[in-house]
Amino acid sequence: MNLFSQIENFVPETAQETSAKQDLLLLIHKYGNALLSRDCEAGHITCSGLVLSPDLNKTLMAYHLIYQSVGWLGGHADGEEDLPGVALREVQEETSVSKIWFLSKKILSIDILPVPAHQKHGKPVPEHLHYNVTYGFLAPEQQKIADKPDENKNVRWIALHQIPELCTEPQMIPIYQKIISRMKAIAVQKQTIPEQITQPLLDWYPAHHRELPWRQDCDPYHIWISEIMLQQTRVEAVRNYYTRFLNALPDIQALASCPEEKLLKLWEGLGYYNRVRNMQKAAQIIMNQHQGKFPDSYDEIRKLPGIGDYTAGAVSSICFARPTPAVDGNVLRVMARLEEDFRNILDNSVKKDITVQLEQIYNPHNAGTLTQVLMELGATVCIPNGAPLCEVCPVSRICMARQNQSVSDLPVRLKKQKRRTEQKTVFVLQYENKIAVRKRPPSGLLASLWELPSLEGHLTPEECVKAAEDWNTAPRELIKINTRTHVFTHITWQMQGVFLKCGRQNSDFVWADPEEYALPTAFRCILE
């Protein structure tokens, strides 16, 4: 979504916000993406994140050195058009929090904030305006936090009622209170989603579900076999296997006593042969311990070999009307979009929370149908691959992700992985009292921003001097080499800064006082 669209989608609720939105849209029309740069003469866009604890009782704030007050977290867009992404990056850089997620990607406030004249890296910065866009985040308190010494100190969690006494900028207090109120309203809206979707889904299912062979009855043996077959296998591929399997092994007793060679032949082509071996073990337990009758409680079903939470929930709810949701990837995807839930669905705690939410709407009259309608919605409408079919979704008007245009961002699936590490040699080429800077390419990381010249890899001192010669800067003296690390969302730069005194200005670079141009923090840290 481009910059104009992001701001245009904000719905102001006060006259002040209406005015701020109109002013910002006019400036975008005049300056375009130049507003994302600190060099823009009209001021520039910043992105803030108000971080609350999951229970909405505390906020994560810091003492800002410029404003000399406790306040929210955020910073300059520095050329990036992804405003929510900027807010997330800034919060993480300023606090070191690792586990954090959007409450919503909806803009919560747009405010025009005056910035007083101040010193930055020993240089004066004149007063100017921040066109600030705010997003809401949630983060657990029990994690490591740290200061960012060049910008803030005393990063900490504070109770919401402490904001008026700790914030010495009185004009900011109503803004914080307004955003907190809106975050709480969003949280309440999320809590009502399960109840809101129940009847529309139950009304939709009879006329729109697929006719599948295992839906002809509620026999637990049939449902069990189908659920095991459908693990990691497409529905269309399972149809014929299911029919053939039941023709050969029509009941639990037949499965329990089937010779292994025949059993594996019946399963041939479905893969993961431990699944069918566990099925036979479970059938034998049912024959020996349950007198051949499939157990009807979730806990007893869950004890059987090869049956996990999902299958136990499906059999319990569909066959025995138990209030036991069957929560798999399909259901997690549906609920993540309906509630605009940016938590990582690979986190087991999220699955447990969604299960508890759904349990509240299950009862003996709707349990089996709700389980199947959620499966059906995820498989045929809110699909895993490609754009969801929102225009035919029975609950699209309730879907918060659709309302806030974040459907394509959900669900969040974060596997634990290390950031990619890149090594760079960054040059501080000095001629008299000036250094060389240049513009970065118009696309990619830090697009169109100013940078210090750099090369990939860590070069030797001799290679550094040779590079400066190739740039026609007539290197005279290697002054020093320092090392710095800068962390982006997906990349870590391990940098060595090479300070070289030069005898010539190369016209391929701009030679200037380093404070004349807005260098991103990734390069600015080399000079500090």
CA 38-42-48 angle, 5° bins: 55
Q: How many helices (H) and strands (E) in the chain? A: 18, 16
Task: Using CB atoms within 10 Å of the CB of residue 480, give its burial: 0 to 12 exposed, 13 to 18 middle, 19+ buried.
Answer: exposed
Tokens (6 digits) for 82 = 């992804």
| Neighbouring C-beta atoms of residue 516, cutoff 10 Å | 13
Q: b/e for 2-34, b at 16 or more Cβ within 10 A?
A: ebeebbeebeeeeebbeebbebbbebbeebebb
Question: Facing residues of 64 across strands?
Answer: 69, 152
Helix axes 235-248, 260-267, angle to 10 degrees: 150
Contacts of 336 (CB under 8 A, 6+ apart): 342, 343, 345, 401, 410, 411, 412
Q: Round to whole Å and give the CA distance between 133 and 446.
A: 19
Question: CB of 406 within 8 A of CB of 107?
Answer: no
- How far, CA to CA in Å, does 49 sit from each of 22, 106, 132, 482? 22, 12, 10, 33
Catalytic residue among 80, 93, 227, 339: 227
What is the DSSP annotation of 468-499? HHHTT--EEEEEEEEEEEEE-SSEEEEEEEEE
Q: Residue type at 289? A: Q
Known catalytic membership, residue 376: no
Q: Round to whole Å and give the CA distance between 86 and 49.
A: 9
Active site residues: 227
